[in-house]
Amino acid sequence: MHGRDFRGITTAMTETGSHFAMRALKPAVFAASLIPVTLLAIRAFTGDLGANPIEAVTRDLGDWALRFLLIALAVTPVRLVTGWNQIARLRRMLGLFAFFYVCLHMLAYVGLDQFFDWPAIWRDIVKRVYITIGVAALATLVPLAVTSTDAMVRRVGGKRWRALHRIVYAAGVLGVVHYFFMIKAGYVEPAIYAAVLAVLLGVRAVRRWP
Ligand code: HEM
């Protein structure tokens, strides 16, 4: 057998191996992404949410919304640094989990905190800057979630789809700013999220630098 053929076979084997690894990894990441909401449900059912359960639920879901946004944004930098291209296949799922947690976070606010009192919610959106920014962040994620299916990628067209999905950077920034405006003291946590976001966006900026 020629060396080149042998290399071709080993490359194919490596690719097949990573294909199988990805087939196992996807459901594992999916299951892991449901752990935060499961743990929160367990805490709710066992009465382990502290003195202000509604606040605890809203905040926990807000934290996970932001974490998943950053995890989804980390996929490309990790791919660039490690050369592990297959990881890109997890990006859509992680982005949709970010949207899932944002929706639950917003529902906790609308349903548990405000009891679906729409006039009061509207007053809050207009008056409290951090709620306005939260709604803006959610609004940026909606077109991304809607265009996340294969059929929509084809309909929109690859180039336009990629341009549209750059809105996710704005969602990350708005999410962090929302956190900063919400908090009254102890800026360490939002500052950590801001630093992580700066690195993830910085990697992209450096890459595009002429
Ligand atoms: C991308 C969208 C969003 C992200 C990433 C996000 C993230 C967060 C984070 C990290 C917190 C702080 C949690 C903590 O203190 O540990 C928070 C708090 C909060 N967010 Fe959001 N949020 C988003 C959208 C929204 C929307 C759409 C609403 C409501 C319409 C909202 C309402 C709130 C409220 C009311 C709090 C304060 C909870 C409390 O103190 O009881 N957020 N959010």
DSSP 177-208: HHHHHH-SS--HHHHHHHHHHHHHHHHHHHHH
What CA–CA distance (Å, rounded) separates 129 from 177?
10
CB of 90 within 6 A of ligand 1: the answer is no
- 203 in a domain, yes or no? yes
Residue 8: predicted pLDDT: 54
- 199 in a domain, yes or no? yes
The backbone torsions φ and ψ at residue 128, rounded to the nearest 5 degrees and listed phi first, read -95, 115
CB of 102 within 6 A of ligand 1: the answer is yes
Q: Pick the closest to residue 79 from 206, 205, 204 (CA basis).
A: 204
- 41 in a domain, yes or no? no
For a mutational test of ligand 1's pocket, the pick from 129, 182, 183, i.e. the residue with the most ligand atoms closer than 8 A to its C-beta, is 182
- CA of 179 relative to ligand 1 center, distance in Å: 7
Q: Is the pTM of this model over 0.85?
A: yes
Domain that holds residue 161: 52-208
What CA–CA distance (Å, rounded) separates 56 from 52?
6
For residue range 141-153, list pLDDT tens digits in order.
999 999 999 999 9
- 87 in a domain, yes or no? yes
Total domain count, the chain:
1
